[in-house]
Amino acid sequence: GSSKNYAIWLGKSLSAKIVRYDLVKNKEFDNYDQIILVGGTYAGWMSLDGFIRKKWGYLKGKKLILADV
């Protein structure tokens, strides 16, 4: 719940589109130069780790900001 709350707060503060990382479409990455990813850490495991590895081809070259709570 904390990650979702932070994502909503950041989205509103920055007037940014909020999309759950497991629902984002690959073509959507083309529309942005900067991407903020918000996720959680569970027993030393970052929830965004697999997503970043899987989507690296779409993320590389973009300004990427990670918020891990």
pLDDT tens digits, residue range 11-68?
Answer: 999 999 999 888 999 999 999 999 999 988 888 778 888 899 999 999 999 999 998 8
Unique residue bearing structure tokens 């932070």: 6
pTM of the entire structure?
0.82
Return d(Cα 4, Cα 24) in angstroms, integer: 15
Mind spelling out the 3-state secondary structure of 28-51?
A: HHHHCCEEEEEECEECCEECCHHH
Burial 27-39 (b: 16+ CB within 10 A, else e): eeeeeeeebbbbb
The neighbour count for residue 18, using CB atoms within 10 Å, is 13
